[in-house]
Amino acid sequence: MQLTMNHLSFPICAILISVIAIYFNEIFIAAADSVVVMLALVMFLMGLTLSKQDFLRIRKKPAAIFIGVLLQFSLMPLIALILAYAFQLSNQLTAGMVLVGSCAGGTASNVMTYLAKGDVALSISMTIVSTLIGVIATPLLCEFYLSQTVDVDAFELLQSILQLVFIPVLLGIFVNSYAAAYVSKIEKWIPKISILLILCIIAVVVALNAERLS
């Protein structure tokens, strides 16, 4: 995998847009209803870069998914807790850090994998599997690290996987399979549009929580 300075500038852009969203939150709050659409669009764009052969290849090597998901749920919440203690965060922020660390991977991780020229099919497969496992793993990890229970709506979670991951990716693969010539013409714009959409999502989320962050 390879990261260039352009790719590494994403965290800087995310920080800048977050600061802007705190002080000009009304602008971004207006787009709150579009977050789900933007998330689905990002996954559709990722689907445009894949074919069904990519997932058939992953299916033959389930060990990669198992190892990835195992490391995700074993290391991330622990690292989150260590960072929270290292920066002496409040109990509320510590709980938030551990909760985030105990959750499955999301849309941004798939885009970053694509930018790093990694295995996007594996990343998306891990997102789906870790989200399903998260129904059980996330509450257990929060109970273990925080002695707090977290309720997870399994039906709502499955619905979100279908809406935000499964269906958009399948549509992207379908379009790429039957209109590859057209997809190749816009391929260079896929990472740029994906990053822009993720930055917009970050801005909206920060804007909605501006009072707590300021």
Residue 61: left (phi > 0), alpha (psi -120 to 50), or beta? Answer: beta
CATH class of 15-213: mainly alpha
Domain ranges across the chain: 15-213
pLDDT by residue (tens digit) across 152-161? 777 887 888 8
Average pLDDT over residues 156-183: 90
3 has a pLDDT exceeding 80: no
DSSP 153-181: -HHHHHHHHIIIIIHHHHHHHHHHHH-HH
Give residue 2's pLDDT: 44
pLDDT by residue (tens digit) across 7-20? 568 888 899 999 99
Higher-scoring residue by pLDDT: 7, 64 = 64
